[in-house]
Structure 1
Amino acid sequence: MRRWGFFALGLVLIVAGSLLAHAVQTSGGVRVEDVRFPGATGITQSALLYVPPSATPQHPAPAVLLSHGYINTREMQSPFAIELSRRGFVVLSMDMTGHGYSEGAVFLPRDLGGPAALAYLRSLPFVDKANIGLEGHSMGGVPISTAAAAMPDGYKAIVFEGSTPAFLGAAAPPAFHDLEVVEGQFDEFAQLMWGVPKGSLVPAAPKTAKVFGVTGPVVVGRTYGSLADGSARRLLNPPVTHPWEHFSRAGVGGAVDWFQMTLAGAAHPLPPNDQIWLWKEIGTAAGFVGLIVLLIGTFEVLIALPAFAGLAQPMTPAAERRGWKWWLAFVLTAAIPALTYYPFMKWGQLFIPMRLFPQYIQNQLIVWAVLNALVTLVLSLLIRGGRPSFTHRWAAAVAISAITVAVGYASLAIVDALWHVDYRFWVLGLKPLDPRHALMAIPYFVLWAIALLISLRALAANLAVRGEGFLFQTGAWKLAMCLGFVALLIYEYATLFSTGLLATPSEPLNTIVAIQFVPLLACIGAIAAVTYRRTNSYVPGAMICAALLAWYVTAGTATHWAPGFKSPLAAAARR
């Protein structure tokens, strides 16, 4: 009965959450479409198009082009898309080249697809070409800068959200039309963006004064220049971090307010703080939780079938009780991955993108995971309390794992096709693989499987206890997997909020990437515990989690390698 309960609960969470997310993003009759359009150098680009019912060829509506940041995808900008479209703006939320479903690679082409996306938006018959805005978060400032440079008269207003004009050497026009900057007081990238160590110092930064055309500090919230002639400038400096700039009422409200001020013709203007986008995130978060529950339920259902009944074996842990070796193993399991995270990610820069492994961030994560697996293996041999006994049926384990993941994947493919939503919350996001990314995920799966087979064997050998209850064991394994990163992030952000700087100020990107590790590692711990309890083997859990990670990371991060392209990051790693 429990197995069908997990299966049913997973489906309920997925359907209910996806329906809620769909209802929110189509509020007021907005239509959401998955679109493709030609980009530079013959590539195809991807975007989500939000069309309010008020936008027609007879009554064209103002429009906004949105761009996400580095190693994100178009769905990350849904808070802006939802709030703008429900007010009557047409919204095109693009995938930068090398991200999401857009082809190419990072900086191939150099403009990251901004000019092509703006050209596509301007070609739509229901768009008012005289009232178009541009918004980009973080590295998303590159495509909107290059779009503005390519078509200086093709837009009317622009918002840099946690970004900066001409970021990373991007082309930009001599002068921007009505420009707003939203930069968090605790932005982890303030030094890179504005040349000051803290986001709270951006109003007084020399670069800010230059952008605003003033000689002293910029007054936060004051509108400089004139909206009438397109020379307006405004700086907002809310108390948020870099990833919260596109996931907060302050960040979203600032952009919405600016576009309502600068673009004419919105059918349903609303106060900037009138925001409903968070309910969409709650819905897709329920979908993510539902997926993990569905995977567990699917496994439970399958193992009761005759084809897989031979896998069902009671667990036979080596430990009779939780003694000092158990607690030592628990602490080391939690602490070592977090303690080695920054140095191993740096070593991972030597795993340069190539045809078979084209994603630089995933390459670094693979190095971190494999090295941690080896460390775990050595420590496991030193501290184990007894000789573990496992029951392996490899062929059946691989088959049941493949079917389990296929059922989970099918659930996502269906809700994406029906409602254009995926499973996500804030920086956590799981989306379907297109054919290109599906092929890309295969070699990564092999490496993830190697790392997880070693790591989960140690987990089962050291943290399983005879007679332990389901809830306690599952909870202990989840905590062992993620608690180190919880502590690391508390340390980093407590330091940031108290001093204005991260504890490791040279690691802003990896610190933000680490936020995802808390829920992901907890999910791995839960799946590992359940599958081990049912089979006395770590193999099914390792296979399921390896497929999940290869799918998650490949679909959600950036592609750096493409024929004829040399990543600046790879060149730096070589040097």
Structure 2
Amino acid sequence: MVPGEEKQLKQEEFRARKKEGASMKIWKENKSAAIVVLCLFIILVTGLVSIGVKSNNGRIVVKEVKISPYGTDLAGSMFIPKSALKTDQAGNFINTVPAVIVNAGFTNSRTYLDNVAIQLARCGFAVFQIDMYGHGHSEGTSHRGYANPPNPFTDDTSLMGAQDALAYLRTLGFVDQTRIGICGHSLGGSAAGRLAEKNAGFFTLEDKLLNMLHSEFGVSITAEQVAAQDADAVAYALLSADQLPLYEMRKEQIVAEDRVAVRNYMVFDAHAAGCDPRVVEVAGIPVWRDLQANLGLVMNISGHEGKGMQDKDAALATEHTLKILSLDGAAERDTWYQTNLSRTTERALSTKLKPFYSDASDPAIQAAAASNRLRMITTPFGWHGYTYLSTATAKAAMQFFSTGMAYYNGDIVAGKSTNSIKNPVASHWIVKDLASAVGFVALLVLILPLIDLLMKLPFFASLQGTPQSPSQSKKSPVFWIFTVIFVALPVLTYSQGAGWGSFIKPSPFSTVELATRIAFWALIITAILFVLVIIKYFTFDRRTGISFGDLYGLRYSGKNSL
């Protein structure tokens, strides 16, 4: 290499290093601002992705709803297919769609079952996802002094808002009143079971008509007539010509009420309270009856009534499962069963139909669904709380409600598979949760750079200074003992601590009972930890010669705050 070329090469290298150094200097000076901008951008994008998933890219309208029966707020989110909101020139809804109420579990807000709500909405259902009373944004139900106590709940608190959610759906013109379902997890599942007991009940339509003939017309009904299930034959054989028009009028009323009863229930990892078959009296004749509704159970392998890896089939053979499904031996998972009508006080065992994830338009399955006799159980992987992260649970809900209500973005017609559902995909909600997780990480990353930028403002100048060296070594046993106490105490006391504030009644200042209890527990724990900090200081840290205020950053100067 000639001397001139060597000199030119060195100059170019020098300029390159100088340019690189300038770039690094600019980056160091603006690093915090760049990270803040990047994090805000990520939060914006992930938020849009989350909204896109929940709304199915604009095909579903998601609305926040608050209803106030008895002056008590019940909060929820409505997922409404846009197609259901079309109206004619007079403002009447052109289409109606089935609806599903979704209840989360104890201490959980509605968003915990986003996996189920999002996937059901994509099936074309109107979904009312509620915060049960005393949970999330819903208020407690035992108000005194400023609102009327909700009398229906003094008799049965287990419905937890499900009854009022149903009443709200009854007011919506785009909801098909003959096709409404409900599902819930844990406490929400028990609430769904109680609604089934009260709304669907155990009497067939013919049972109700025979009861009416017996109680209102004084007709004596025999066991043979109950078994025959033909109230019209009894009426036309025993009533006078003057009584028949009244019978037909009352029959029309009973049939209309029966048509709008809620007939589809799904319980996630909970006891289906109130749904056990039983002996009832039809016109004074005792007879065995199953719940008159389609009912599905989702029992996690390691969850409620499960024994985890010890016995993955445990939930298939529990007394509760066998009662609900009307079986003698262990149930088969992911299988449709049909209950059979008993003619005596002895139960009639169910009939096995087809695999649960069969074509929903199958005539035998649709016949059982129409007569409110479908039963099933599935046992997906997971423990009790895993339901909220379970694709299998969301998938089961899609298959169950689409089959039971013969609807999957349009009516399902028996024998025609042109519009049906079979083994659906239920993973869309994961995209929303992943986007939310990325957005949350971006929020955490945002904190320190944002603090760095804020510390450069005059308002925060008094907080600037050279950090003091640690007053205690991380090798000290005292450090680790107190660290373990501070971390473990809240964790170990939370479950019991949530009940410490049960004596505090809801008021205008604290309307959500559960939130009040948790806040009371948090205050108690904070006070205990603060006392421990003081004890630690005067027992150990004071020896360092550092004041309490300096050690814990409690000094503040307002001289530069303006």
Distance in 1 between residues matched to 2:534 and 2:305, nearest whole Å: 40
Separation of aligned partners in 2, 1:349 and 1:53: 43
Please tell me whether residue 313 in structure 1 is matched to residue 465 in structure 2: yes
Identity %: 23
Shift of residue 394, structure 1, vs aligned partner: 3.5
Residue 146 of structure 1 deviates from its aligned partner by 4.0
Higher mean C-alpha deviation, range 65-74 or range 41-50? 41-50
Q: Tell me which residue corresponds to 1:159.
A: 266
Q: 1:213 aligns with which of 326, 330, 336?
A: 326
| Alignment of 1:371 onto 2:528 | yes
- 385-394 or 245-254: bigger deviation: 385-394
The question of 1:281 aligning with 2:433 is answered: yes
Distance in 1 of aligned mates of 2:388 and 2:424? 14
- Give the deviation of 1:63 after TM superposition: 1.5
Task: Give secondary structure in 2 for the equivalent of 1:317.
Answer: coil
1:70 and 2:185 correspond: no
The equivalent residue for 1:115 is 163
When residues 350 and 69 of structure 1 are mapped into structure 2, their CA distance, relative to the original with a 3 A threshold, is closer
Distance 1:351 1:168, change over 3 A: farther
1:211-230 Cα distance to aligned partner (Å, 9 max, x none): 22223332222222133411
Contact 1:346 1:364 in 2 (8 A): no
Task: Report how many aligned residue pairs link the two structures.
Answer: 389
Q: Distance in 1 between matches of 2:139 and 2:36?
A: 36
| Counterpart residue type for residue 19 of structure 1 | L
Q: Mean alpha-carbon deviation: is it higher for 206-215 or for 82-91?
A: 206-215
SS at 1:207 equivalent:
helix
Q: Which residue, out of 314, 320, 324, partners 1:201?
A: 314
Aligned-partner Cα distance in 2 for 1:382–1:224:
68
Within 5 A, what are the aligned runs for 1:33-432?
A: 33-39=63-69, 41-56=70-85, 57-105=93-141, 109=153, 110=157, 111-152=159-200, 153-166=260-273, 175-187=291-303, 189-190=304-305, 200-225=313-338, 226-267=368-409, 271-319=423-471, 324-325=475-476, 329-330=479-480, 332-334=482-484, 337-338=487-488, 341-342=491-492, 346=496, 349-355=499-505, 358=513, 359-379=516-536, 382=539, 384=541, 386-388=544-546, 390=550, 392-394=554-556
Secondary structure, aligned partner of 1:208: helix
Closer/same/farther in 2, CA of residues 205 and 365 from structure 1, 3 Å limit: farther
TM-superposed deviation, 1:49: 0.6
Alignment of 1:437-452 (within 5 A): none
Q: CA deviation at 1:340?
A: 7.1
Could you tell me how far 1:80 is from its partner in structure 2?
A: 1.1
**Deviation of 1:362 (Å):** 3.6
Whether the aligned pair in 1 keeps the contact of 2:98 and 2:176 (CA below 8 Å) is yes
Question: Does 2:49 match 1:20?
Answer: yes
Q: Which one-letter code corresponds to 1:238 in the other structure?
A: P
Instruction: Identify unmatched segments of 5+ residues in structure 1.
Output: 401-575
Corresponding residue of 2:357: none
Separation (CA, whole Å) in 2 of partners of 1:344 and 1:2? 40
Deviation per CA, 1:467-510, whole angstroms, max 9, x where unpaired? xxxxxxxxxxxxxxxxxxxxxxxxxxxxxxxxxxxxxxxxxxxx
Residues 274, 348 of structure 1: alpha-carbon distance in 2 compared, 3 angstrom cutoff: closer
Offset of residue 121 of structure 1: 1.6
1:102 shift after superposition: 1.9
Coordinate RMSD, CA, aligned: 3.5
For the residues of structure 1 that align with 2:305 and 2:527, how far apart are their CA atoms? 32
Letter in 2 for 1:74: R
> Structure 2 vs 1, CA of residues 345 and 155 (structure 1 numbering), >3 Å: closer, same or farther?
closer
Please state how far the C-alpha of 1:147 moved relative to its aligned partner: 3.5
Question: SS state of the match for residue 188, structure 2?
Answer: helix
Unpaired segments of 5 or more residues in structure 2?
1-29, 86-92, 144-149, 201-259, 277-288, 339-367, 411-419
**Partner Cα distance (1:10, 1:117) in 2:** 39
Q: How far apart are 1:351 and its partner, in Å?
A: 4.3
* Aligned residues of 2:197 and 2:275 also touching (Cα < 8 A): no
Aligned counterparts of 1:84 and 1:347: Cα–Cα separation in 2: 35
Compare CA radii of gyration and give the structure with the larger one.
2
Change (3 A) 1:106 1:218: farther
* Alpha-carbon distance between aligned partners in 1 of 2:451 and 2:262, rounded to the nearest angstrom: 52
Letter in 1 for 2:173: P
Query: In 2, Cα distance between the equivalents of 1:199 and 1:112?
Result: 32
Paired residues of 1:55 and 1:61 also in contact (CA < 8 A): yes
Moved more, 294-303 or 223-232: 294-303
- Structure 1 counterpart SS, 2:84: coil
Q: What is the SS of the residue equivalent to 1:27? A: coil
Stretch of structure 1 that moved more, 65-74 or 142-151? 142-151
Equivalent pair of 1:203/1:219 in contact (CA under 8 Å): yes
| CA offsets 1:148-196 (integer angstroms, 9 cap, x no match) | 3453343221100112222799xxx972510001010111x438xx9xx
Cα distance, 1:104–1:381 mapped onto 2, change above 3 Å: same
- TM-score by structure 2 length? 0.62
Query: How far did 1:5 drift?
Result: 3.4
- Take 1:15 and 1:168, find their aligned partners in 2: how far apart are those partners? 46
> Which 10-residue stretch deviates more, 283-292 or 330-339?
330-339
User: Does residue 121 of structure 2 align to residue 8 of structure 1?
Assistant: no
More helix by share: 1
On the 8 A contact 2:315/2:321 being kept in 1, the answer is: yes
Task: Please state how far the C-alpha of 1:23 moved relative to its aligned partner.
Answer: 0.9
Aligned to 1:405: none
- The separation in 2 between residues aligned to 1:165 and 1:221, in whole angstroms, is 18
Q: Structure 1 residue 284: deviation in Å?
A: 1.8
Give the Cα–Cα distance (whole angstroms) in 2 for the partners of residues 143 and 379 of structure 1: 47
Question: Residue 38 of structure 1 contacts residue 116 of structure 1 at CA under 8 Å; is this kept in 2?
Answer: no
CA separation of 1:395 and 1:113: change in aligned 2, threshold 3 A: farther
